[in-house]
Amino acid sequence: MWKNDWSITHTSAVLNLTSPGILSIWLKRYTERGIKGLETNPLGRPPTVKKQSQRTVKPDHEMTLEELKEELAYLRAENAVLKKWEELEQEKSRRAKKKRP
């Protein structure tokens, strides 16, 4: 475009772009950020990073009696939640089967 002294409209027609606006956006990015400005950015929300649990895991023989009791209570609660979730899923599937004619 610069070499042949073409307009944005003529250049976009030669490059078979749908709109001259696309070329003007590219030119603006190129003048502001250089070639890095023309690199594509990933679309959408960035992937979420799963947070590690803040519980530190020590070997059992290094834990105090109180720490072992706390871990046991935590694991029991976690187990109860998982059992309840599984129970709800089974109830949901039973209801879905009943609704079918």
**43 domain-assigned:** no
In a domain, 24, yes or no: yes
The amino acid at 71: E
User: Given pLDDT bands bounded at 50, 70 and 90, which one contains residue 101?
Assistant: low
Q: Does pLDDT of 56 surpass 90? A: no
User: Contact at 8 Å (CB) between 58 and 71?
Assistant: no
Distance between CA 101 and CA 91 in Å, rounded? Answer: 18
Domain residue limits at 29: 8-38
What predicted TM-score, i.e. pTM, was given to this entire model?
0.40
Each residue of 59-90: pLDDT tens digit?
Answer: 888 889 999 999 999 999 999 999 999 999 99
Query: Would you call 26 exposed, middle or buried from its count of C-beta atoms within 10 A (0-12, 13-18, 19+)?
Result: middle
Secondary element (H or E) of residue 57: none
CB 20 within 8 A of CB 8: yes
In a domain, 27, yes or no: yes
Domain count, the chain: 2
Determine, yes or no, domain membership for 47. no
Residue 79 domain-assigned (yes or no): yes
